[in-house]
Structure 1
Amino acid sequence: MDELDGVEVIDNPERRRFEARLGRKVLGWASYDQTSEIIVFTHTEVSRRWERLGLGSRLVQATLDHVRSQGMQVLSTCPFVSDWINRHPDYDDLVYRPGPGTSY
């Protein structure tokens, strides 16, 4: 049995983060800021007990799948999220790329 069986990723908009939960216990989260078109991932954290088991990857993939389902784009200032996207080019289409003269 996989140690991550039963882990769910949910959006907690009140805390502005996606949470990886096992029952009521929060195992990790990806914090964000959001506009109507862009979600900015600012920090990802996984409890030490769950590091190196793939929880961070599962969390990021689920959040990006949610972003895709909402028709939004991603701007990441979080190194973990940025590195994950770089390793999974099938999610590259979600990356926000400002046009000429656009600032963010």
Structure 2
Amino acid sequence: MKTEFEAIPLVKNENKKRFEIEIDGHFAFINYGEREHQIALVHTETEPELAGTGAAVAVVEKTLEYIKKSGKKLLPFCPYVFAYIKKHPEWKAIVDEKFGGYDQL
């Protein structure tokens, strides 16, 4: 992640069911669903003002770190998150082995 995003806190917005970071009044976020032992990441998005800034990567990395610390397993339904994990296989350790695309990571 770019250094300018490191100090920006990740917010788990339970009302909107998304993990988010805010940069200059604009958001990068990942919609999620949660169960007792799993967190499903469904869709990653950045507001147009953040396109090409690296904000999407930052929110993904911060969210994966949150899931790792929580001890829950990840269900990466979001294609962006799935592709990120394929490029960074060290994150496969937090993916639930029962996830349908597990063998493709």
Q: Pick the TM interval, shorter chain.
A: 0.7 to 0.9
Deviation at 1:22, TM superposition (A): 2.8
Query: What fraction of aligned residue pairs are identical, expressed as a percent?
Result: 24
Unmatched tracts of structure 1, length 5 or more: 100-104
Aligned equivalents of 1:71, 1:5: Cα separation in 2: 22
What residue identity is the alignment partner of 2:35? T
3-state SS of paired residue (1:7): coil
3-state SS of paired residue (1:83): helix
What residue identity is the alignment partner of 1:63? T
TM score, norm. by length of structure 1: 0.82
Aligned equivalents of 2:29, 2:51: Cα separation in 1: 12
Task: Identify the residue that residue 103 of structure 2 maps to in structure 1.
Answer: none
Q: Would you tell me which structure has more helix in proportion to its own residues? A: 2
Number of residue-to-residue matches in the alignment: 97
Aligned equivalents of 1:6, 1:65: Cα separation in 2: 14
Aligned equivalents of 1:82, 1:26: Cα separation in 2: 24
Unmatched tracts of structure 2, length 5 or more: 100-105
Aligned equivalents of 1:5, 1:35: Cα separation in 2: 28
Q: Would you tell me which structure has more strand in proportion to its own residues? A: 1
Task: Identify the residue that residue 67 of structure 1 maps to in structure 2.
Answer: 67
Q: Does 1:20 align with 2:21?
A: yes
Deviation at 1:98, TM superposition (A): 1.5
Task: Identify the residue that residue 50 of structure 2 maps to in structure 1.
Answer: 50
